[in-house]
Amino acid sequence: MGLDDDIAILAAAPLFGFLDRDALRLLTFAAERRDLAEGDLLFDRGDPADGGFVVMAGTIRLEPRDARTEPVRAGRSALIGQLALFVRGTRPTAARAVEDAAVMRITPTLMRRVLEEFPEAAQAVHDTLADDLAGLVADLDHVRGLLDVIDGISSGDSPGGRL
Reported as a single tens digit per residue, the pLDDT across 6-26 is 999 999 998 888 888 999 999
Query: What does the pLDDT read at residue 127?
Result: 72
Residue 161 has pLDDT above 60, yes or no: no
Residue 163 has pLDDT above 70, yes or no: no
Model-level pTM? 0.77
pLDDT per position as a tens digit, 96-135? 999 999 999 999 999 999 988 887 776 677 677 767 767 7
Residues contacting 28, CB < 8 A, separation 6+: 3, 6, 7, 10, 104
Cβ–Cβ under 8 Å, residues 19 and 30: no
**143 in helix, strand or coil?**
helix
pLDDT tier, 159 (very low <50, low <70, confident <90, very high otherwise): low
Say which range, 22-36, 91-105, 146-160, has the weakest mean pLDDT: 146-160
Residue 158 has pLDDT above 60, yes or no: no
Cβ–Cβ under 8 Å, residues 45 and 72: no
Cβ–Cβ under 8 Å, residues 2 and 62: no
Query: What does the pLDDT read at residue 110?
Result: 94
Superfamily of domain 3-117, CATH level 4: Jelly Rolls (2.60.120.10)
155 against 50, higher pLDDT: 50
User: What are the φ/ψ torsions at residue 157 (nearest 5 degrees)?
Assistant: -90, 10
Query: What does the pLDDT read at residue 57?
Result: 97
Query: What does the pLDDT read at residue 79?
Result: 96
pLDDT per position as a tens digit, 40-86? 999 999 999 999 999 999 999 999 888 788 899 999 999 999 989 98
Q: Which of 75, 76, 48 is nearest to 62 (CA)?
A: 75
Residue ranges of domains in the chain = 3-117, 118-163
